[in-house]
Amino acid sequence: MVMQTSKFKLYKGQDEWQAGFASIIIAIVLILVLSLITVGFAALMRKETRSALDKHLSTQAYYAAEAGVNDAAKAINAGYREHKTNCGETTADLSDHTADSLRDTKVGNDAGVKWTCLTIDPEPKSLEYSAIDVDQSKIVEITGVNAAGADTIIDSLVIGWQGSDNGGTIRFRTSSGIFTPISSWNSSASVLRVGITPLGRNQINRDSLIANTSTAFLYPKESGGSTPPAAYENSSYTSNTGDDGGTIVPGNCHAQSQPLNCNVKITNLNSVNYLLDLRSLPYGKSRVSIRAYSGTTLLGIKNAQTLVDSTGKAQDVLRRVQVRIPSRNNYPHSDFGLETMGDICKQLKLAPGDPTSQTVCNPGTPL
């Protein structure tokens, strides 16, 4: 009887040991699970904190880049016309102090927020306009410049354009230079009126301006096919002046063309300086890109736009901004002495009581 009791106690102790061991295993697993949850939550919190910090730093870096642009604009408006190819602040001692704003990269008193790289190119390889309007022409002077920085004759211009809404399906067509009804047009691109006036010596007078100014109406025409045209030269136009001006020129348009959806090459130019008159017709603003060539060589263009590239930094976050600043304000001008979509009536009085005088406004009545 005693031996049986001892055996029972032995078995009971073994069960307790096994139950305790299982409890330990369960506790360890729970601790591991809770630890993993805690670590994951901490990592998530760190990620969210870093994300919020990065967003804040990104905003600061963007404003620092904008500060660099503003510093460049201030210098340009004060007369700075130099190439700035080094990233850092300007160290040259300029007597006219036009670049004083380029001597300090910090934004405010925070040394950790600053623009780290600022370049200025007063002779970009292209002119880019985001919105040529229908209400007022954009008039800009251009001068061709070669790689050595010397003024160079421009013998051709490549003009690209499309709707400022980034385009859409190109379905404009004409026949024999006659526009289709406006009801068949869409807003993916507009007609672009281009006036090109040479500004060479002895050409700034009434007769020369009339005789040498070339005007063309560039309209979008679908190039056809599933791939864009190989080159804009497929749609070229020899500039005509005087009575032969005002030609309707088809653009080679495709949704994937470069630099913009529609492109025309204007040849037969022969001057260093030109005045360009751009206007979008008949409705809708147009994005426009202009490139100047001497033969097959792409030229720089000065006197029109200055390309500013600014990078801002806030701690370890960088933001880059690239803008184009007008080299000078738009020329004040009137597009037309008189513009109307209706009839025009003239009242002509040669002398008091003259029976040939036109005193009644009746369009169509011969004088």
Q: pLDDT by residue (tens digit) across 266-282?
A: 888 888 999 898 988 76
Compute the CA torsion angle 62, 66, 72, 78 (nearest 10 deg): -170
Query: What does the pLDDT read at residue 170?
Result: 44
Question: At residue 169, does pLDDT exceed 50?
Answer: no
Question: At residue 62, does pLDDT exceed 70?
Answer: yes
pTM of structure: 0.71
- Quick one: how far is CA 127 from the chain centroid? 9
Mean pLDDT (whole number) for 300-325: 91
Query: What does the pLDDT read at residue 324?
Result: 93
Query: What does the pLDDT read at residue 233?
Result: 47
Structure tokens at 279: 């206007």
Edge-to-edge strand ranges of the sheet holding 106-107: 106-107, 110-121, 305-314, 317-326
Distance CA 172, CA 224 (A): 11
Structure tokens at 193: 């009126």
Mean pLDDT (whole number) for 323-330: 80
Distance CA 196, CA 267 (A): 11
Query: What does the pLDDT read at residue 164?
Result: 64
Question: At residue 300, does pLDDT exceed 80?
Answer: yes
Distance CA 33, CA 42 (A): 14
In this prediction, what percent of the chain has a pLDDT beyond 70? 65
Encode burial over 203-221: b for 16+ CB neighbours within 10 A, e otherwise. beeeeeeeebbbbbbbbbb
Question: At residue 201, does pLDDT exceed 60?
Answer: yes
The predicted-structure confidence for 305-314, as pLDDT tens digits, reads as follows 999 999 998 8
Question: At residue 11, does pLDDT exceed 60?
Answer: no
Confidence of residue 79 (pLDDT cuts 50, 70, 90): confident
Distance CA 339, CA 135 (A): 12
Annotate the chain with three-state secondary structure: CHHHHHHHHHHHHHHHHHHHHHHHHHHHHHHHHHHHHHHHHHHHHHHHHHHHHHHHHHHHHHHHHHHHHHHHHHHHHCCCCCCECCCCCCCCCCCCCCCHHHCCCEECCEEEEEEEEEEEECCCCCEEEEEECCCCCEEEEEEEECCCCCECCECEEEEEEEECCCCCCCCCCCECCECCCHHHCCCCCCEEEEEEEECCCCCCCHHHHHHHCEEEEEEEEECCCCCCCCCHHHCEEECCEHHHCCEEEEEEECCCCCCCCEEEEEECCCECEEEEEEEEECCCCEEEEEEEEECCEECEEECCEEEEEEEEEECCEEEEEEEEEECCCCCCCCCCCCCCCCCCCCCECCCCCCCCCECCCCCCCCC
Mean pLDDT (whole number) for 295-302: 93
Query: What does the pLDDT read at residue 294?
Result: 93
Q: Which of 10-24, 301-315, 326-340 has the highest mean pLDDT?
A: 301-315
Query: What does the pLDDT read at residue 348?
Result: 63
Tell which residue, 330, 310, 305, has the closest CA to residue 127: 305
Structure tokens at 205: 């007078």
Q: Which of 49-58, 235-244, 249-258 has the highest mean pLDDT?
A: 49-58
